[in-house]
Amino acid sequence: MEAHLLAWFSDHGRDLPWRRARDPYCILVSEVMLQQTQVPRVIPRYGAWIERWPTAQALAAAPRAEVIRAWQGLGYNRRAVNLHRAAQMVAAEGWPDDLTRLSGVGEYTAAAVRRFALGEPVLPVDTNIRRVLDRTGGDFGPEAAAALMDLGATVCLARIPRCDECPLADACPSRGSRYEPLRKQTRFEGSFRQRRADALRLVAAGRSSGFDSEVVASLERDGLVKVENGRVSLPA
C-alpha cells in the first residue's frame, strides 16, 4: 500500500512552501497557522510572516501588538499569542527536547516538527491522516506522512471520498462508502467568536472603549488585549 501511495504522491503531491523548509521554526509557524485554517488562506500569510520574522529570535523580539496585527484574518487569534510565547521560550532556552512544553504545541504539532524539520521517524497523525488510516487499515511509516496528508485532504475526503482517483482503492475495504458529517459547524455569524474577532480588529485599528465587557474580559484572559484605566489596547 505504501509504495502505491508514495508513487501517487510523487506525481500529485501539493507544492507547499513549508515543505521546502527544514527549520523547526518554519514548520512550527506553518502548523500553527494550519490549525483550523485552510491551506489556500495560509500560503500567502505564511510567506509574509517568514519574510517579516524569519527566525524564532526575530519573532520573540517583536512587540506582541505587531504579532497580533499580523495575524488578523487568520482567525483564532489566540494562536498568535501562543506562537509568540513559544518563540520567546526558544529564543531564551533553545528548542526543548519535549516540544509540548512550547505554548500551544500539542502532541500532533510536536510530532509534525519532529518529522518534517528534524527528520525523526515519527508519524504525525492529524485529522486527514487518521481518516486514511481508519478507512484503509493500512500500515504506513513516517516517510508517508506528507503523502497521507495530501491523500486525506484531496482524495479521501470526509463525506464523499474520490475513490476513483485513489491509489489505494483496490485494496481499501472502505471503497465506495459515503459518510455523514461528524458534527455541524457552529455558525460564526452572530457568535461570541465573531464578537471577539470584531472587537479585536477594532482595538488593533486604535479604538479603545465602547466594547462588550464580556468580550473584553475574554480577550484579556487570552493575552490579546490589556485594559488600563478603562481603556483597551493591544499588549505591548
Place of cell 512544553: 101
231-233 and 226-228 strand pairing: antiparallel
Helix (H, G, I), strand (E, B) or coil at 235: coil
Specify the pLDDT at position 180.
86
Q: Is 176 helix (H, G, I), strand (E, B) or coil?
A: coil
State residue 176's pLDDT score: 96
CB 141 within 8 A of CB 123: yes
pLDDT for 86: 98
Which listed residue (31, 93, 120, 220) is catalytic? 31
- To the query of whether residue 31 is one of the catalytic residues in this protein, the response is yes
**What domains are defined for the chain?**
1-12+127-182 (1.10.1670.10), 22-116 (1.10.340.30), 192-233 (no CATH)
Q: Residues of 59-78 as b/e, b for ≥16 C-beta within 10 angstroms?
A: bbeeebbebbbbbeebbbbb
Residues of the chain with pLDDT under 70: 182-186
User: Quick check: helix, strand or coil at residue 113?
Assistant: helix
